[in-house]
Structure 1
Amino acid sequence: MWRIRSLCCVSLLLFITNICAQQLHRQPFLCGGNITEDSGVIGSQGYPGVYPPNTKCVWRITVSQGKVVVLNFRFLDLESDNLCRYDHVDVYSGHVNGQRLGRFCGTFRPGALVSTGNKMLIQMVTDANTAGSGFLSVFSAAKPNERGDQYCGGRLVKPSGTFKTPNWPEKDYPAGVSCSWHIVAPKNQIIEVKFEKFDVERDNYCRYDYVAIFNGGEINDAKRIGKFCGDTPPAPVFSEGNQLLIQFLSDLSLTADGFIAHYKFRSKKIPTTTIPPTTTTLPPTTRAITLKYSAALCQQNCKRKGSTESHLCSSNFVITGTIITAVPRGGSMHTTVSIINIYKEGSLAIQQAGKSMSTKIVILCKKCPSVRRGLNYILMGQTDEEGHGLIGPQHFVMAFKAKNKNQKVFNILKNTRC
């Protein structure tokens, strides 16, 4: 027995010595490069030491024709920021004008990232302040139709089709997965997406597992349509242009059934937005009449009617927030609101970035009610099928400057039960 243990110890010592020798003779990781192998290891400059400041490193991977690139991060330690604005790693499918598969920072490692062709680009950018050891990743080539259940995503260009989470419907989606579907229609068409079944780990702010949908071909918070989780399928989504990006991400803990969704191309046309009218006698859901917003609506006198209580009960959403952006489009004003407090969420699509929450609200008549960027408001209104907020002249909007102002109104918002 002693001899067996001695042999095991000697074997283990030789193994460790061999690993250490390999580490000592390993070439240091450089800042970027062109890689034309079917597998390999890529690390940030100086890894595992602290990465240098004020750098931009680009790695271009090219695997054999007819295959795709599968990238896995084994280690990630960059300066942390909710939006990865400072030190970050971007991964793209392709080398030039490719679809961005994701931007990463902090210490959370995404799941496998898969290109749509035989090329992938990794770019690491650092600012003047560094904090961490960078990243270590491995890549390999795989046949597009033999990637396995743990991979997902891709480029969808057919007039209609289906996409789903890995393992659907046999079992739950795996932990630590990042999938991006890039749907591209002809330039004169838009894209409609409908979720048939939907079950993604529930969280009030969708911080863990979620589906995010973006206008265009890259992950960009300014173009995000919505972020979804839970077990209620999102309402049908329509793109603004001819491209849509759907991102699915699961963390390393709980999983769920996942989803199956269908998309199709549609003719580009401007839809007429209709919402129920605000009333002090009947809740909107019991009214059969809908009001079409038009130039005639915006010619009305801009004067708020009704009490705070009546507006609160008849509105689909009630929030307080700061106007971050206000962009006029036609006769309307499209705003992004940083949320201070939610009193009634309704079906309003709320986006989460760390502890910050925001939403998109359209002021249907850009001068009524009038809002200004940088100011705080109480906002009450309705939502469309996609969860965008809609506010017309008859809805309740009021500015406020500090917590001790409008205290009576805040008490009503907090204590009223409809």
Structure 2
Amino acid sequence: MQGLRQFLLLPLLAALALPKGSSVESTGAPRCGASLHELNKALRIELNANASCTWQIQRNSNQTIRLIFSYFKFAPSSSCETESIKVFDGPSTNSPLLGQVCNSTDAVPVLESSSDSLTFLITTNSVDFRRNFFVFYYFFSPESNTEDCGGQLTGSNGTFSSPNYPAPYPAFTYCVWHIQTPKNSKINLQFQDFFLELDRNCQLDFTAVYDGSTTTSGLIGKVCGRAQPTFESSSNTMTVVLATDSSTSYRGFSAHYSSVPLPGPVEPDTFLTCSSDSMKIVLSKPYLASLGYNESHLQLNDPSCRPVITDLVTFSFPLSSCGTVKKEEGQSITYTNIISLSATGNVITRQKNTEIIAKCRMENNSTLEVFYITRDNVIQNITAMGRYNVSMSFYDSDSFSKPIHQSPYYVDLNQTLFAQVNLHSTDPNLLVFVDTCTASPQSDFGSLTYDLIRSGCNKDDTVVTYPPLEHHGRFKFRAFRFLRSFPSIYLQCDIVICDSNNSNSRCTQGCISRHRRAVSPHTWKTNTVVGPIRLKRDLSSADPSESLTKAVAEEIPNLQQYNFYTLAFVILISNILIVVAVILKHHKHRAGYTYQKIQSSL
């Protein structure tokens, strides 16, 4: 009888461990891929070797999809090239790549679509191993997401809690807290009360803590159930995430953080800067001395690249030189170089194995600079921000050899305008793609705008785009005016930078005509603005503002004509005055004589 109870109880416990609406995608024979149309769903996926399976999520809901891989286990020692999960922002694997998950992913991947559909592809290598994945997704409306959770936390200490605490947290909660304390400190985080749904591997409801300012900074830990966990960062930034599904909710957590001074030497002169052209690493001599190193023993991946040594030790080099390794990682392009100790020829050493790894990650309208130092498995993070260096100019012809330097740029109505976007970078393997260009009569691009290009598609009949050419994105169109009385036009263009070695990048896909609520969130997108453009004349218009524009554009020739007529008028008036003066003088002279009768002598 007792054996029968256990036999009945085990399936019941297994069913309770799954969230509501979830499904086991694989128990015996692995199920490979599916087309999903539910508003939310949880998937437990098991795959063997040599799999290539595609799941498509699609629903006509005009909402955003949030996809969370709360657990993934690939074959041991597999690489991103042989085993991965690739997520595409659209209905197929031909859609733009949104992100990639593989064995080296040190995070709980959370990806969001910019449309009503997502596709993810899981591929495995030939190693005989049972892979396990747990993923859940749900649709949500960003504009209706009013949960008061997440945000920026600054200062030496503070507190925060899950939504509704101590009442149960809502279903499908996703909160991100960014904590930053004063420089030269680290963060101690204590959960004073913690109660989340418990399951194996924390797949359903969980809190994740990251050692840095973003969710890609390195995962410190992921927790669920009942506990009082404590975490400590290696720098003055930390990121905390709360994610929940649609099943059972509990009271959540209450947390307190405080800053702790960093031990050891202060490193004010140890930093990294990145630009489109170069990478610069600066190390202070006192810091190197505190590690027991001589600055002359340091080298980059390419030992021939030497530092400049003054009071500081400075490595400065172009991104594409000195052994810098370039890699496309999901939706980012990274440039990595390593400062290490040069070999001395000895068989053994009693020095610590220290590497200074400098990484520039190009993502989301900026260059995220990641700089960390490994010291006996201790990682210290330093981050900074930068931008791609791009500019846009008009040219006088389709040869794009002579830029127009005048501002404002005066043009004729219906004149063909040639525009070129330039990326200023030393990396030769980059392409520039003009994703979207919008015109507006206002420099702040207010409510009145007009699309010339949208998602790579020409929206104006006169627009012609040129194929991507190295560091240049080019297009042309004919000048127009807004119907209302606006004298100027500004252009704002969203630019996508791609690795030219990737044959399936956004830069090579061209027009994406399917409906989007916004431009696809390509990680390394940036934008540039040029203007104003003004019409020289419009003979068919009696608009006073355009007449004024015409007068300004023709000010110099009109002024010359005005001066000629003025001079002629002055000469004419002068001659008239001279004639009048002579007549008056003659009249006055005659008026001075009187008639006198001559007496006769007779």
TM-score past 0.5 threshold = no
Q: Which has the larger radius of gyration?
A: 2
Q: TM-score, normalised by structure 2?
A: 0.29
* Normalised TM-score (structure 1): 0.39
Name which structure has the greater RCO, CA cutoff 8 Å, separation 6+: 1
